[in-house]
């Protein structure tokens, strides 16, 4: 379609995993491919938005010329970039699978194996980007979160909606085959303070359309 319902809007999107360094050659990461966040960035740009895409380490290219891409590696770098761009955005979509913990110290040389002894890494919590932006959110701005749950999905998603001050949350379950990490398809539910809508399994490009349709509804003044 030639939809331009996001004309004049600025949208910030976080996507992909983060890598938390252990030493010069190792990190703690996760299986996020960034596909969902990149599909959202393309869909928002296609509908007329100026997009800032803050991307963790992923193997993906951006197509649309209205996507301003910022590549980051760690949760801390993503936090700094998101704090910089969110205040000037109409909406933030937090699709990144941000590491919850990082090594307390980063070894400056490759850690050697010492005989058969194990190794204990001391971890620290990273900053919660979502909760931070939720507290910065101003009237007229939207904040959309994602939740990937293995259990108690509905209850956990509702808790996050409140704690992080999201306008709505996109829930995907690891229990659904074809949904979530690395797949080209996803099966989502959207939860807001009024209820829940379940969508069927679809390609991530079409899931992005559903999410952006919902976003447009919330952006319009009378919703």
Q: Which residues of 206-221 are buried (b: 16+ CB within 10 A; e: fewer)?
A: bbbbbbbebbbeebee
CB 199 within 8 A of CB 189: yes
CA atoms of 52 and 90, how far apart (whole Å): 11
Q: How many residues does the chain have?
A: 223
The answer to whether residue 152 is catalytic is no
Question: Least Å distance between CB 55 and ligand C5P?
Answer: 13
Residue 50 is assigned to a ligand binding site: no
Note whether 128 binds ligand C5P by CB under 6 A: yes
From 91, 145, 168, 219, residue interacting with ligand C5P (rule: CB under 6 A): 145
Query: 35-74: which residues touch ligand C5P (CB under 6 A)?
Result: none
Q: Which residues contact 113 (CB under 8 A, 6 or more apart)?
A: none
Nearest Cα to Cα of residue 19 among 84, 76, 81: 76
From 126, 173, 185, 186, residue interacting with ligand C5P (rule: CB under 6 A): 126
x-or-dash string of contact with ligand C5P, 79-118, rule CB under 6 A: ---------------x-x-x--------------------
**Binding residues for ligand C5P, per CB under 6 A?**
14, 75, 94, 96, 98, 126, 128-130, 145-147, 160
């Amino acid at each position: 379609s030639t939809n331009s319902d996001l004309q004049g809007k600025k949208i910030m999107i976080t996507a992909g995993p983060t890598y938390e360094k252990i030493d010069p050659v190792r990190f703690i990461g996760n299986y996020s491919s960034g596909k969902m966040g990149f599909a959202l960035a393309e869909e928002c740009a296609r509908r007329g938005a100026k997009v800032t895409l803050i991307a963790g380490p992923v193997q993906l290219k951006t197509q649309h010329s209205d996507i301003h891409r910022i590549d980051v590696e760690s949760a801390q770098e993503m936090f700094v970039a998101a704090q910089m761009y969110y205040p000037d955005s109409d909406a933030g979509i937090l699709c990144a699978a941000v590491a919850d913990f990082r090594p307390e110290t980063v070894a400056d040389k490759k850690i050697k194996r010492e005989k058969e002894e194990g190794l204990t890494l001391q971890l620290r919590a990273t900053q919660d980007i979502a909760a931070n932006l939720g507290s910065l959110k101003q009237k007229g701005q939207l904040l959309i979160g994602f939740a990937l749950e293995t259990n108690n999905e509905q209850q956990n998603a509702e808790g996050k909606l409140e704690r992080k001050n999201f306008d709505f949350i996109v829930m995907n379950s690891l229990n659904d085959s074809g949904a979530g990490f690395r797949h080209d398809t996803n099966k989502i539910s959207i939860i807001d303070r009024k209820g829940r809508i379940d969508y069927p399994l679809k390609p991530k490009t079409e899931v992005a359309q559903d999410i952006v349709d919902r976003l447009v509804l919330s952006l319009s003044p009378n919703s």
